[in-house]
Amino acid sequence: MGVHERIAGEGVGGGPDGRAHLVVVGNGMAGCRAVEELLARDPGRYRVTIFGAEPHVNYNRIMLSPVLAGEKTFDDIVINGLDWYHDNGIELITGDPVLAIDRVGKSVTARSGRTVSYDKLLIATGSDPFIIPVPGKDLPGVISFRDMADVDHMLAAAGAGGDAVVIGGGLLGLEAAHGLTLRGMKVTVLHLMPTLMERQLDEAAGWLLKTALEARGQTILTGADTAEIVGDTAVEGVRLKDGTLIPASLVVMAVGIRPSVTLARDAGLDIGRGIKVDDHMVTSDPDVLAVGECVEHDGNVYGLVAPLWDMCRALADGLVEQHSGYRGSVTSTKLKVSGIDVFSAGDFSGMEGVEDIVLRDASRGIYKRVVVKDERIVGAVLYGDTGDGNWYFDLLKKQENISDIRDLLIFGQSFASGGGQADPKAAVAALSDDAEICGCNGVSKARVCQAIVDGAVSLDAVRSTCKASASCGSCTGLVEQLLSITLGEDYGSEHIVKTLCKCTSFGHDDVRREIVAQGMRAIPEVMQKLHWSTPDGCSSCRPALNYYLLCAWPGEYVDDQQSRFVNERMHANIQKDGTYSVVPRMWGGLTNPRELRAIADVVEKFNAPMVKVTGGQRLDIFGIRKEDLPAVWADLNAGGMVSGHAYGKSLRTVKTCVGSEWCRFGTQDSTGLGVRIERMTWGSWMPHKFKIAVSGCPRNCAEATIKDFGVVCVDSGYELHVGGNGGIKVRATDLLCKVATEQQAMDYCAAFIQLYREHARYLERTAPWIERVGLDFINSRIVDDEAGREALTARFLFSQSFSQDDPWAARAAGAEAEQHQHLGEFRPLDAIAAE
Amino acid sequence: MIGDWIDIGPLSAIPSRGARTVPVAGGEEIAIFRTGDDAVYALVNRCPHKQGPLSQGIVHGHAVACPLHNWRINLASGEAIGDDKGCVPTIPAKVDAGRVLISRLHAVTSALAA
């Protein structure tokens, strides 16, 4: 019907040789492929003229990266040489871009003034690089990565050496960075998003890619927002919005491409995001066709090469009146960086009812994720081993039912097609023989296995023979797994290893030890190296990993807000109605008129329905809406108060009694000591909440013996108590030791907290922790080992140097405003009225 | 302009593995979730258990854990996962050209039903 039937119908055939004249605007991959397809069907049907803006014959644009990298030459990537044009009677006009189309007179005019009339016009103008509109974008030395001229420019710049900045961490940008690195430049990649190639890769694969590129000497800055390109007469550097200045003599902009539609728009054709075409690649003018990256088909615009082939087939079928029709394409991506294998295909987002099958092999640096819906593959991300990429892509395109091979699907075609067995417990088995299992006693995997083989067939037997797991016990999980692996079914575990969560086969202690041993510094890295079975964990493991990393790498690890429970993310306590309560810090339970006035004013200003004195000697303001929190904090900050961390797995309060300053029984300045301890410990993140109290005499009015750390002052000094707990199961403290000076009390406190921070499992209070590891262990580390204690204290104070920024002040100043603001508002009745 | 879909803002305004809220005049607040792999879901911002604000929960995979009692809700179906039983209304949502769109019809219906 309609448009396509007239493609080669009436009005065609008026050329000098009696054949219809097909004029192709664009000598690139799409334009020439379309002509090839046409020639294959009916070589004599049209007289063909091709205009090219570049001074080259038809070459393979996607192979520019290997040319830049020095792996290929321009001649290697030519698709059709001059002889092809000649042999097929095609007139080629290079270096002369078409600037105007006269659709009424049916002719095109090029920059040189040359005018050529057409019967059929094919627009294949491709796409233009997107140039981010920042100051300095037009400076010499700022280029895109789109054609051979750009490559020549980069090669010239690389010859002089120096620094290059590539803006854009997508496919094109990374290939440019790779080439420039190989050419000897020092390359920094700036990427706006948190992970590289985020449109093709998920976070796990993006992280692996970043690590691999960094290992090759590139600097990768994610979340990097370019503010301006600086330089007087040529590029000198790039300044980020955070003020960082990165020197560069070459800046490559590779942030994306846009369909090149100027010519078509000027000619009055229908334009959406690209030139709108029907299934036969016909535009709104029946004699004008378009193909390639410049078109929009069925709402889709493509920036990859594979759809071209399908489009050109449909186009040529239409030109010879054998209409088939283009139905859109499913695309796959492969990164062309030698030695780094990345594959992505289909959709791994945005659908209901999808399931993930994930395989991670840390020792070989492999991550595979296949997304399945209704027993069919809908997407795949492969890193490290992309050998099965095409197989998955094939199954995806054919929509094959994979239910029969589902269990083995992730292991690849050779496994799934029969033979081979997968070992789901590969994680521990994959550790090398010299891997250290027990850090306390320096026992290797081989020694543990030898002990088991020699007859130590239970955990206790292993502990008593080779000493593995006999000290702090943190490697118990690993030893259990080695027993299980070595003995197989003969090992009836009396201790089933309690894993961190269902996403992993490792326990808390294993994960913590491996984080430090392997120097892991990010959540996706831990999930990859420890073979997580889910793409991004769960609400149990993510907060735990976030804490373990924070504890292991103070000042270095960047907290992941989305891995925090609501209270820690919002810096307030959520209540059953969804409002929050706010508790400002009152040091040692002391307050003053200014603070009380500020609190009173906040209560009135925000109509807080309740204010309550807490068990921790401070005031809790209830019923604050999340939108109002920053304003409340600003007012409390103005009154001299900071966050009380009543919401955190962190130091809560230091409860005090009035002590020797006022009390007739007081033996020491318990109030002052409490304030000083709170000043030292506030803001620290811990495995669970942590409460401290200081009582001025054994009457213990501050209830120090049911706190995590309690000080009871006596005439001769300070009794230090640990591991107390109110709550569901009351536990009185154990007496740790007695010290003589206030400074010692503070140092021991810091050491104890750090020991707890480094050894307890996430969400384990000090009471169950001490019952698990035993008071002897605490004594041996805090009391008996002076050097160890001092080191613990030093590590705690170092960590504190990064954690004592008031989170409220940052939020009140506008940080993370999206946590508090609505995205928008919807007024359905207004909408209905408008209809 | 009245279409089938309401544009509620750019995808980039929603943190990855997070959510933002859209209050509905005369109805219940809608929570818009963005998963780690950039899928987008819209649900009424109310846990079927004790009405907790789901938007404040931890998003993992295509599920959210309610901040009040850790019920896990399937973002696609709105149903509680595991032993818990309950369901929260969902509103069709999609991303087009970087913009988050929710179904006008469902948003209106769920507002009027509230």
Angle made by CA atoms B71, B73, B74, in degrees to the nearest 5: 155
pLDDT confidence band for A752 (50 / 70 / 90): very high
Q: Is residue A816 part of a domain?
A: no
Co-location of A659 and A615 in the same domain:
no
Q: What pLDDT sits at residue A16? A: 60
Co-location of A544 and A449 in the same domain:
yes
Cβ contact, residue pair A576, B39, below 8 Å = no
List, as ranges, residues 169-198 from A with C-beta within 8 Å of B.
194, 198
pLDDT confidence band for A293 (50 / 70 / 90): very high
Element (H, E) at A220: strand A219-222
Question: Domains in chain A: how many in total?
Answer: 6
Cβ–Cβ under 8 Å, residues A661 and A672? yes
Of A238, A255, A272, the domain-final residue: A255
Co-location of A50 and A88 in the same domain:
yes
Mutate to test the interface with B, among A130, A195, A298, A349 (most CBs of B within 10 A): A349
Q: Comparing C-alpha atoms, which of A7, A14, A58, A81 is closest to residue A290?
A: A7
Co-location of A95 and A123 in the same domain:
yes
Q: Comparing C-alpha atoms, which of B14, B18, B90, B15 is closest to residue B48?
A: B90
Q: Containing domain of residue A168, as a range? A: 142-255
Of A356, A386, A416, the domain-final residue: A416
List, as ranges, residues 2-41 from B with C-beta within 8 Å of A.
2, 6, 8-9, 13-18, 20-27, 30, 32, 35-40
Q: What pLDDT sits at residue A385? A: 80
The CATH homologous superfamily of the domain defined by B5-113 = Rieske [2Fe-2S] iron-sulphur domain (2.102.10.10)
Token digits for A743?
A: 């400074």
**CATH code of residue A593:** 3.90.480.10
- How many residues comprise chain A? 835
Distances (CA, A) of A719 to A694, A748, A765, B83: 10, 11, 21, 48
Co-location of A349 and A249 in the same domain:
no
pLDDT tens digits along B46-69 = 999 989 999 999 999 999 999 988
Q: Comparing C-alpha atoms, which of A57, A50, A64, A47 is closest to residue A80?
A: A57
Q: What pLDDT sits at residue A309? A: 80
Mutate to test the interface with B, among A200, A344, A502, A562 (most CBs of B within 10 A): A562
Among all residues of chain A, which has the CA nearest to that of B35? A349
**Higher per-residue pLDDT: A459 or A196:** A196
Q: Is residue A777 part of a domain?
A: yes
Strand partners, A46: A20
The predicted model gives A680-685 an average pLDDT of 96
Co-location of A152 and A120 in the same domain:
no
Q: Comparing C-alpha atoms, which of A643, A638, A648 is closest to residue A618?
A: A643
User: Percent of chain A at pLDDT above 90?
Assistant: 55
**CATH code of residue A346:** 3.30.390.30
Q: Is A833 on the interface with B (CB under 8 A)?
A: no
Q: How far apart are CA A384 and CA A364, in angstroms?
A: 8
Q: What pLDDT sits at residue A170? A: 87
**CATH code of residue A539:** 1.10.10.1100
Q: Is residue A814 part of a domain?
A: no
Q: Is residue A827 part of a domain?
A: no
Co-location of A640 and A665 in the same domain:
no
For residue A535, list chain B residues with Cβ-Cβ distance below 8 A: 36-37, 61
Cβ contact, residue pair B15, A818, below 8 Å = yes
Angle made by CA atoms A707, A708, A712, in degrees to the nearest 5: 55
The predicted model gives A532-551 an average pLDDT of 93
> Is A414's pLDDT higher than 70?
no
**Higher per-residue pLDDT: A745 or A414:** A745
Element (H, E) at A672: helix A670-681
Q: What pLDDT sits at residue A79? A: 84
Torsion of CA A128, A130, A136, A138, to 10 degrees: 10
> Is A420's pLDDT higher than 50?
no
> Is A546's pLDDT higher than 90?
yes
Q: What pLDDT sits at residue A833? A: 55
Neighbours of A15 (CB within 10 A): 15
Co-location of A234 and A299 in the same domain:
no
pLDDT confidence band for A12 (50 / 70 / 90): very low
Minimum mean pLDDT among A1-15, A179-193, A759-773: which range? A1-15
For residue B26, list chain A residues with Cβ-Cβ distance below 8 A: 827-829
> Is A115's pLDDT higher than 90?
yes
Cβ contact, residue pair A576, B68, below 8 Å = yes
What integer best gives the mean pLDDT of chain A?
87
Q: What pLDDT sits at residue A791? A: 95
For residue B36, list chain A residues with Cβ-Cβ distance below 8 A: 202-203, 535-536
ipTM above 0.90, yes or no: no
Q: What pLDDT sits at residue A788? A: 94
Q: What pLDDT sits at residue A8? A: 34
Q: Is B43 on the interface with A (CB under 8 A)?
A: no
Q: How far apart are CA A679 and CA A800, in angstroms?
A: 10
Mutate to test the interface with A, among B21, B24, B46, B60 (most CBs of A within 10 A): B60
Q: Is residue A726 part of a domain?
A: yes
Say how many CA atoms lie within 13 Å of B92 toward its Cβ.
8
Buried-state track A286-299, b at ≥16 Cβ within 10 A, e below 16: bbbbbbbbbbbbee
> Is A505's pLDDT higher than 60?
yes
Q: Is residue A618 part of a domain?
A: yes
Element (H, E) at A120: strand A120-123
Cβ–Cβ under 8 Å, residues A730 and A718? no
Q: What pLDDT sits at residue A7? A: 33
The predicted model gives A252-279 an average pLDDT of 93
Co-location of A154 and A216 in the same domain:
yes
Of A416, A445, A475, the domain-final residue: A416
Co-location of A470 and A346 in the same domain:
no
pLDDT confidence band for B112 (50 / 70 / 90): low
> Is A494's pLDDT higher than 70?
no
> Is A341's pLDDT higher than 50?
yes
Counted across chains A and B, CB pairs separated by less than 8 A come out at 134
CA A733 vs. chain centroid, Å, equals: 43
> Is A13's pLDDT higher than 50?
no
Q: What pLDDT sits at residue A464? A: 74
Cβ–Cβ under 8 Å, residues B73 and B82? no
Q: Is residue A389 part of a domain?
A: yes
Q: What pLDDT sits at residue B107? A: 75
Q: Comparing C-alpha atoms, which of A711, A721, A766, A700 is closest to residue A743?
A: A711
Cβ contact, residue pair A566, B57, below 8 Å = yes
pLDDT confidence band for A348 (50 / 70 / 90): low
List, as ranges, residues 64-93 from B with C-beta within 8 Å of A.
65, 67-68, 70, 72, 76-77
Locate the domains of chain B by residue range. Answer: 5-113
Q: Comparing C-alpha atoms, which of A48, A19, A20 is closest to residue A35?
A: A48
Q: What pLDDT sits at residue A737? A: 95
Cβ contact, residue pair A536, B60, below 8 Å = yes
The predicted model gives A776-804 an average pLDDT of 95
Cβ contact, residue pair B37, A823, below 8 Å = no
Co-location of A763 and A616 in the same domain:
no
Minimum mean pLDDT among A100-114, A239-253, A304-318: which range? A304-318
Cβ contact, residue pair A576, B50, below 8 Å = yes
Q: How far apart are CA A313 and CA A323, in angstroms?
A: 10
Q: How far apart are CA A500 and CA A645, in angstroms?
A: 26
Co-location of A554 and A443 in the same domain:
yes
Q: Is A568 on the interface with B (CB under 8 A)?
A: no
